[in-house]
Structure 1
Amino acid sequence: MADHYRLGVLPGDGIGPEIVPAAVQVLDAALAATGAEPVEWVPLPVGAAAIETHGSALPDVTVETLDKLDGWLLGPHDSAAYPAEHRAKLNPSGFLRKHFDLFANIRPAKAFEGTPALVPGLDLVVVRENTEGFYADRSTYRGTGEFMPTADVAIAMGIFTRPAIERIARQALELASRRRRHLTIVHKANVLRTSTGFFLEICRELAAGYPEVEVDDFHIDAMTVHLVRHGADFDVLVTENMFGDILSDLTGELAGSLGIAPSINASYDRAMAQAAHGSAPDIAGRGLANPTAMIASGAMLLDWLGSEHAKQAATLVDRGLRTAVASGVRTADLGGTAGTAEFTDAVVAAINESA
């Protein structure tokens, strides 16, 4: 693949305008260290700032431009704080995942050496089906899967289809085959026999084509206990939308902090880098936010892009993050005193020194 990429930059809300530029700074440094062509960054309006300037949290110009790009960085959004008429719509992240069919949400959780991880040695990836399941905002072609037939009855549909399950199962199996060859299917087939039982059945069917991968499965409630007790024993988890969202928040904290929890949302031809955490409005604008998750999400995007230089740069970013943390430069959530800018500068320095 070519080295020249056009990538969108959507800062988002809260701490987004602090951590997204930090990610751009680090990715630029890593790419430069490999000799790659500079990325053409394309700033685009989103979130509360876009409501003020364009009357929409996700203006048409943003969506239309994203369609022409190789991928993008999306900062966290604080849609709960939007005016009521905007809260009633799909939030920016949900809309983009649905509109671009970003069916695979890949969320690694890896502890940093020397940090207070609740599960030392944790190194796993949650592979979350991103387009249906129990998330009503993504489970129907038009509208949502929630409705009220009377004023006293609320109904939510969980949607499970063979094509969606097959493609996420393949993503998880391919990933497991490149890692430690262990896949865990997470479901609730003892109660939700038709829906999550279908998910389990199809994942098992496809796993037969990967004899090198050890496959087991657990109920979602038991899985939370296993992760807390011996999370380091797991490699790749695959599950439906809502279960994956919950488990990946848990694994992020078990690794040390949601501030280090990255993710990408990908289809076959485009990807969106997005930290797993929220917008943290309580510390926004104070320079305290941990940019690790956003930086690591950007590295995942580089790796997904696939060129030799992009993959080399992704490796440099990961190494730079771990070197900075190991040297004692840490934000408050990891027990340190560094601010966003100081930590970012330390990562860039580590990249430059190791290149």
Structure 2
Amino acid sequence: MKNLKIASIPGDGIGKEVVPAAIDVLKAVSDVHGGLQFDFTEFPYSCEYYLEHGDMMGEDGIDRLKEFDSIFLGAVGNVKLVPDHISLWGLLIKLRREFEQVINIRPAKMLSGVQSNLLNPKDFDLMVVRENSEGEYSSVGGRIFRDEDEIAIQNSIFSRKGTERAMRFAFELAAKRRGHVTSATKSNGIYHSMPFWDEIFKEVSKDYPSIQTDSQHIDALAAFFVTHPEKFDIIVASNLFGDVLTDIGAAIMGSVGIAPAANINVNGKYPSMFEPVHGSAPDIIGKGIANPIGQVWTAKMMLDHHGEEEIGSLLLDVVESITHDQIMTPDLGGKHSTIEVTDEIIKRLKEQV
């Protein structure tokens, strides 16, 4: 019997609606699997927690969370209560950095029955591997002077170790898929970091002779995500470039509400964290229509991470069966509630026994 200790952080907004829904689905997965059990512990870390305690997760948050096998996060952010730079750097980014979650993975594929925003999506199935610890999201920089003389400086940090690590992860992933890696660059405009990125990509590619490669400038690559997404398998990108590309990936799928993500610790020292892309969605809080698929698909990625690929694939197949049958929330053009979609996923999972 495998027992996974999972720290659940619903967080803000619809996170409090979709995380419990996905946990119910994972409990059903456990019923179906038989040899897999989950031990969930919920933590109240959120913007409301910040207002009460003056900290997004408390001084002992890292020490408490590091004891778990994985972290299952819903959403972070409520700009009406706490500025984004405080909420994100105090919880989401803090967890990524403290737990050395150096790789971010975000898949994008057509789900049967879901209407893409593209006229002809051609059944694309791609995955972005995003360097998650440095790059353009470095905290190095500062502000000086005032008024019209004020200057803000933001430094991008690209280490050989971090860059190569992300690229090797991408190549290893491509070897399990369709054997192609695209590098997102901008060496025709960014003078130092992107030529450095390109050089390391060429070096790493020599260790994977069976993997096909190409390199695309980020502006053209963003356009190709819209015009020819079916041509891509694995895309490896810097922190900023990967962030932008994956939002495009969510958009062409049909809704950001179905997009999953994983923040991976590759050295095994700390837990990895799994979170959907959609955020706290303040416009639909409490309406009962938040799409649970993004969180459920994220749960599938957590299962994969723990070596349960077979049951993870079954879960995604079940999700795709309900979208095929048009059992969907309003963001996908459906008429069903969060609970109705969740209950149907659970019902179909249990029918697999």
Do these two structures clear the TM 0.5 threshold for a shared fold by scoring above it?
A: yes
Label 1:85 to 1:296 Cα distance change in 2 as closer, same or farther (>3 A): closer
CA distance in structure 1 between the partners assigned to 2:249 and 2:84 by the alignment: 34
Counterpart in the other structure of 1:312: 310
Counterpart in the other structure of 2:254: 256
RMSD: 1.7
CA distance in structure 1 between the partners assigned to 2:78 and 2:331 by the alignment: 24
Shift of 1:62: 3.0
Q: Secondary structure at the match of 1:148?
A: strand
Counterpart in the other structure of 2:234: 236
Q: Secondary structure at the match of 1:4?
A: strand
CA distance in structure 1 between the partners assigned to 2:61 and 2:87 by the alignment: 20
Shift of 1:79: 4.6
For 2:247, the aligned partner's letter is D
Shift of 1:88: 7.8
Counterpart in the other structure of 1:273: 274
Counterpart in the other structure of 1:201: 199
Shift of 1:313: 2.5
Structure 1 residue 3 and structure 2 residue 2: aligned? yes
Shift of 1:114: 2.1
Shift of 1:26: 0.8
Contact 1:319 / 1:351 at 8 angstroms: preserved in 2? Answer: no
Contact 1:44 / 1:62 at 8 angstroms: preserved in 2? Answer: no
Q: 5 Å matches for 1:154-303?
A: 154-268=152-266, 269=268, 270-303=271-304
Counterpart in the other structure of 2:144: 149
Counterpart in the other structure of 1:133: 135
Shift of 1:239: 0.5
Q: CA offsets per residue over residues 175-228 of structure 1, 9 Å max, x none?
A: 111000010000101111320111121122111111111000100000011111
Counterpart in the other structure of 1:97: 96
Contact 1:107 / 1:262 at 8 angstroms: preserved in 2? Answer: yes
Shift of 1:86: 8.0
Q: CA offsets per residue over residues 235-282 of structure 1, 9 Å max, x none?
A: 000010011000000011111111111000011223101001111011
CA distance in structure 1 between the partners assigned to 2:255 and 2:88 by the alignment: 30
CA distance in structure 2 between the partners assigned to 1:185 and 1:305 by the alignment: 27
For 1:49, the aligned partner's letter is E
Q: Secondary structure at the match of 2:208?
A: coil
TM-score (norm: length of structure 1): 0.93
CA distance in structure 2 between the partners assigned to 1:265 and 1:296 by the alignment: 14
CA distance in structure 1 between the partners assigned to 2:234 and 2:88 by the alignment: 33
Contact 2:113 / 2:325 at 8 angstroms: preserved in 1? Answer: no
Structure 1 residue 16 and structure 2 residue 9: aligned? no
CA distance in structure 1 between the partners assigned to 2:128 and 2:350 by the alignment: 31
Structure 1 residue 330 and structure 2 residue 332: aligned? no
CA distance in structure 2 between the partners assigned to 1:62 and 1:330 by the alignment: 36
Q: Secondary structure at the match of 2:2?
A: coil
Structure 1 residue 50 and structure 2 residue 49: aligned? yes
Q: Secondary structure at the match of 2:221?
A: helix
Contact 2:132 / 2:239 at 8 angstroms: preserved in 1? Answer: yes
CA distance in structure 1 between the partners assigned to 2:90 and 2:106 by the alignment: 20
Q: CA offsets per residue over residues 110-135 of structure 1, 9 Å max, x none?
A: 11112211224121001000011111
CA distance in structure 2 between the partners assigned to 1:257 and 1:312 by the alignment: 26
Shift of 1:48: 2.1
Label 1:339 to 1:186 Cα distance change in 2 as closer, same or farther (>3 A): same
Task: Count residues in correspondence.
Answer: 344
CA distance in structure 1 between the partners assigned to 2:34 and 2:251 by the alignment: 36
Q: CA offsets per residue over residues 60-96 of structure 1, 9 Å max, x none?
A: 3332221100001111111533346983871411111
Q: CA offsets per residue over residues 20-66 of structure 1, 9 Å max, x none?
A: 01111111111220112420001112112322454322223332221
CA distance in structure 2 between the partners assigned to 1:19 and 1:264 by the alignment: 16
Contact 2:114 / 2:254 at 8 angstroms: preserved in 1? Answer: yes
Q: Secondary structure at the match of 1:56?
A: coil
Q: Secondary structure at the match of 1:205?
A: helix
Q: 5 Å matches for 1:39-78?
A: 39-78=38-77
